[in-house]
Structure formats: C-alpha cells, structure tokens
Structure 1
C-alpha cells in the first residue's frame, strides 16, 4: 500500500509539471499573437505579418517532434483515476481489517476472561483435591488402626481345669486364633483398647465338676477393675457334671482401657476349645 501511495504522489507531481508546461505554452501563444501585422493596401484588411515564429510546428503537435501532450495528459488522468480507485479499495480493506481486528480483540478479551475463570476453577479443584487426598490418607490410617479383633481359647494343647477356690483369678487364654492389631496379650489375658470407640466382647466358659472343687463356678468380664457381666454354674447333684455358660456385651472404651475375664472357681478346656474369649471394635468415636 505504501508503494502505491508513493507512485500516486509521483504521478500527481508529474501531472502538475505537465499542466504548468501547458500554461507556459498558452502564454507564449498569446504573446506571439501580439506580433506586428501589416495593412492590406487594397482591401484595407489587416493581415498577419509573415515573419516566421520559431518552434511553431513543434508546439502544434508535429508527429516527428514527439507525443501529443493531451494524449499524455489523458493517459496520466486515467492512471490517477485508477490509482484513486485502488486507494479507495485499499482504504475499504484497511477499514474492514481494522473492524475485524476490533472484533477479534473483543473475542480475545472474552476468552481471557473465560480462561481466568477456568484457571480459578482449576485452582479450587486442585485445592479440593489436596484436601481430599489428605482426608483419604487420614481415613486409610484410621482404617488401619480400626482393624481390631481377637479371639482365643484357654489351652494351647492338652485338657484340664484351671482356676482356684480361694478367690478371683484372671484367666489367661493361651491359644490365640486371631489377634489383629495385637491388642490382646496371651501372656496376661488382657485386652487393651488402642483407641476410643464401641467394642463388642463375648466369653464362654465350660465347667466340669470335680469332687475336690466347690459346687459354684463364676466367670465375670471386667472393665479395668469393674465387673460388667457374669456367667456361672452350680452343681445340684452328681448327674449334672458338665455345663457351659456365656455372656456378651458392647462397651464404650477409652484409649488404654483394659478388659479381662476373671473366674471364681474352675473352667475346663480341651482340644475342642470350649472356653473362649473374643472381641472386636465396632466403630471408632
């Protein structure tokens, strides 16, 4: 576009020069027309002096002298008209391009706003994802510590009675079936709560009468030093030599609470594992 504008300016300058030349030629012709004339003696008519003016044939457009100035002027005028049309066409294109540029700028601004909103949403989602991952880790850790369960029987091998007639003793269940979390000790007979929550416990005692034993056998579940539930048996006659008793309870425990079984009398166990103690965490609190 800049090159066409320069070309148009050059042609306009050339047109100005040509028009100036035409004006100079007309002034010269006007000056020549004022040359001396002679009076015709016969008819009294004025006749133009026959003195020859130089350059007259060239000024009248002699083909041998060069192209006609009016032909060049017409050609130049056509070129200027054509360039004006080109210039107008280019101006229209520039206007259309500027309008399109403004429209694109508006679209770009709208997209920037949308991208900013999307970026904020992504930041929020990233934050929520981090929080969720943290919660998942906490739940995994809690679930791992929530897997608490145990079950054991009195004797690991053999059979026989265990107990005393002189008072309560803590029953130690030696044969461990299950001990998830290792919170039951087969050396002390104590279950120690690893966390606060609701727990279920059940114990079963098998009683076999022996003549040297007294006739009443009592088993109790203790929370720390407090008896909670009881089972037992008494022998009325020698025909009822064997009996079993059981009980169960749901307890809310704090961390470190101890649950155990204590017997006043004797309990029996053999390869059938008749005397047992079991418990598990229902849910943490």
Structure 2
C-alpha cells in the first residue's frame, strides 16, 4: 500500500517551484519508499514499542523514569547515526523508528502514570504538538512529503513528527481501549478499519496523498499497540497470554528478518536515490 508518490506530494511554493530548503543538502532521500514492507515493519515496530516499554519497566528495576532516560539516550545515539548518514540505510533507519516507538510510549506512560495527566489531555497536547511541527515544517519547506527528506532541516522536522505521532498514537490507543472500554482486540479491529478507510478515501475519493500518509501513520501506532497488548496480556485481562517476552522476541525476529532482506535487496530505496547511485 503506497499513499505517497513524489509527484503527488510536492507542494509548490509561490511561483510554482519548491521553496529553498534550509540545512545541508544531501541529494538522496533519507527515508524509505512507502511500500507494503514499510507498513508491515512500522506496525511491528509499534507493537514492539508497546511490549518492550512495559517489559523494561517491569524487569529492569529502573522505574518508569529511569527506563525513559536510558531509552532516550539510546535513541539519541541512533538518531545521531541516522543524521550522519547521507542516504537511507535500512539498518540505521528502522532501529531509530523502533526506539522512537519505545520512547513515545514511555513519554505517554510517564504523563499518565507518574504525573497523573488524563489521557484526554495528553491526547490533545500531542495532537497540538504534532500540528505545530507540521505547520513549522510546511512554512520552512513548502512540503510535508517524505520523498523530500534530503536536508538536515527536513530530517529534523520529520523525526519530530514521527516522535509525536507515536506519542499521540499511544495516548489515543490507551484512551480507546481502556477508558472507553473496547478492549484490545476490538480496538485493533477499529484502528485497522480506520486505516482501511483512509486508504479507500485516498485511492477512490482522491484524499490528498500527504495527509493520507500521515493519518495512516498515526493510526498504525494504536493498531500495533492494541495488537501487542492483545497478544501479551493475560487471558483474564483480555489478551492471549503470550507474555511481553515472547511477543517482543517474535516481532523483533520478524523485523530483523525484513530489515536484513531490505538492506540486501534495496527494495525500499526510492527511485531518486537509485537513479543517483547509478549515475554516480
């Protein structure tokens, strides 16, 4: 499923050309092509983010705040590697996404569990924060397309947006499954249907490709989290009882296999980067 194409997502500035970008121009896109592999790994990463955050919080004996600091440091290291690369690298990009998933979950959990912030409030705050990132990104770059992540400025906006989509998705998923009381399985079905509706609106009704992508990107977070909770939680708590260790290990194994496959085959490298490499 591909919601974006380079032609569909370029938003022209006044005068018909894309506005100049700030930051070091890299020439090659720093994110993968949006393919079925992209969505599969994204959902798997969100599931791991949910189960791994809970597992670390329970087993590491560091407390929620300590685990949050540890994972934030690891995320900073991996993001430094991501920013240092000059083109998309599956082995760097996807670990960054997985760690953002964990940190985004921990941010939401800290607000709810340690600070007592209601889920309704955190959901609203994260939605506003994401909207601000999009406004700043568009005002600077005149595009929100992920096919144009080729400067440090755009890459910074991109990863901020990704972080807030994960935090927003976590809060939204918890709000639906716990406060509204739908349960993990029904929540997963609901979010899956919502993503399908976005795809239908894009392909059949002409919903803008950029917004289709970002709406689906937000919704995959609570979808993956609901799946993770359903698989890992005990039977008496509405789950299958696999446990966080088994669920995290299973999904991490699949993620590693897919990332290794993509690193070798380069099936998710954008045509722009592929053409540039051939011409070099």
Give the TM bin, normalised by the shorter chain: under 0.3
Higher relative contact order (CA 8 A, sep 6+): 2
| Bigger fraction of residues in strand | 1
| Bigger fraction of residues in helix | 2
Q: TM-score, normalised by structure 1?
A: 0.20
In our comparison, the structure showing a higher alpha carbon Rg is 1
